[in-house]
Structure 1
Amino acid sequence: MSELSFRLSREGDVPELTRLWREVFGDDEDFISEFFRLLWRPEYCRVAEAEGKLAAMGFCLPGPVANGLSCAYIYAMATAEPYRGRCAAQRIGLELIRGAFDSGVRLVATLPAEESLCRWYESRLGMAPLFRKGGPGVEFPLSWREFSRFCGEHSPDTPDMLWAIPAPGVDTGPLRGLGWECCFD
């Protein structure tokens, strides 16, 4: 199997990002198009390539504010079946977190798609449970609220807590149990 190369996404990647998204998650075109319209910028996405095709992707979306701290959200981490087990998602996730912290974000959160992934986010990305899924607490920009409305109600199949990692020196104590409404689940 060919070597993976890693980079930031580019404007021309949208068709391949859409292909990989549909392949891994099975979402419809309207959902994916709305995500790209409202939330995507090339610098928010990292990809792994192999043989001229995207093999893995992940997004880190800035915008939320929790008790005055700027936050970002890891979303739609996906690896094509033939490339799983090669640590592509871990590398993408770590690069997304580093990039977010380098840009001034103080905390990166995610809602694992299922309970079984919580351990992965803990062991691979250093995350721990912090925010409650849903409810008041974290503030979101308009584009997030619009996409969240498009997504509909929270899924009962996703965990009740969001996992997060703070930038060095950030005290997460005052954030414990705050609600994070816009999860896109």
Structure 2
Amino acid sequence: MIYNIREYTREDTSAMRSLWSDAFGDPSELIDFFFELLPSMGTGFVAELDGEIFGAAYVLDAFLHLPGGETKKLAYIYAVSVDESAQGRGIGAELTRACMRNAWDYSADICCTLPAEDSLYDWYESRCGLAAASYCNYESVSASSELDGIRRLSADEYGFLREDMLKGKAHVSFYYGYLRFQEEIFTSSVGGFFEYQGGLVCGYVENGIFYVKEALGDTPEFIPALCASLGAGKAVIRRASAHGERYIAAYQSKDFPPDTVWNLTLD
């Protein structure tokens, strides 16, 4: 099987949308919004044979801010997918490496990804050199009663407040298009960006559980009350940690502090 891997063009997006839908099952409106925003977030690569696209991956721009004030350019490899008929031939790894080469061509300091499941960490490390670099912990809380004062934020409001809260800490920041797509992921179910008494929380509800992707400076009553407001029975909260479950995998992982606050990984 001789195939070609190349950067995508606008003419490819119909086939790429179909591949995304088959691989991830997302609503068509969410997929369309991703491709609308993609030029402002980064680029994509496709695997092609005889004019047919059967694989795709995306590389999105972000920034790693270190406690000493240094900023590194980050490339986030996202949504690697290969049609079921072509799986098991190393095409996913080739697409990932194409994204990495593109990132380095455009002066990225670190390439990274979030493996879709725990079993894929070893695969990314052995095939692409992307090793576990940062970690997180999960905690659960039950819903309480609703509170006055919880405020829904727009993507840009959340982004500005988030940057103020994370100054001096190792963290990742994003372009506006990236935050808008994260917002669309949240609101395509039930969720969004929220603020209460200076604390920030964001996430979405699925099957009665509020999955909190980021919680910064949150008071103990914030998330239980937000659960009640969103109709969830409990919350599962992800928090950055120097130890715990594997989270971000990175090439040259030693350059990525293990307790880096990322959280908004479009998962």
TM over 0.5: yes
Deviations 1:61-106 (A, max 9, x none): 1133332001011011000011111111111111111110111010
Match of 2:48, SS state, is strand
Match of 2:173, SS state, is coil
Match of 1:39, SS state, is helix
TM-score by length of 2: 0.61
Specify the alignment match of 2:263 in structure 1: 181
1:172 equivalent in alignment to 2:255: yes
1:109 equivalent in alignment to 2:139: no
Match of 1:3, SS state, is coil
2:42, 2:60 within 8 Å by CA — same for their partners in 1?
Answer: no
Unaligned runs of 5+ in 1: none
Deviation at 1:3, TM superposition (A): 2.5
TM-score by length of 1: 0.86
Match of 1:60, SS state, is strand
Specify the alignment match of 2:47 in structure 1: 48
Q: Name the one with the larger strand percent.
A: 2
Q: 1:143 aligns with which of 165, 177, 194?
A: 177
Specify the alignment match of 2:20 in structure 1: 21
Deviations 1:99-156 (A, max 9, x none): 1011101011111111111111111110111234699521112111111122222577
* Counterpart-to-counterpart distance in 1, 2:41 and 2:258: 31
Structure possessing the higher radius of gyration over alpha carbons:
2
State, as a whole percentage, how many aligned pairs show the same letter: 27
Unaligned runs of 5+ in 2: 138-161, 187-202, 204-210, 214-235, 239-244
* Counterpart-to-counterpart distance in 2, 1:42 and 1:140: 9
Q: CA RMSD in A?
A: 2.5
2:41, 2:177 within 8 Å by CA — same for their partners in 1?
Answer: no
Farther-moved stretch of structure 1 (71-80 vs 30-39): 30-39
Specify the alignment match of 1:60 in structure 2: 59
2:63, 2:173 within 8 Å by CA — same for their partners in 1?
Answer: yes
1:8, 1:43 within 8 Å by CA — same for their partners in 2?
Answer: no
Q: 2:101 aligns with which of 90, 94, 98?
A: 98
Query: Residue type of the partner of 2:60?
Result: L
1:84 equivalent in alignment to 2:170: no
Query: Residue type of the partner of 1:69?
Result: K
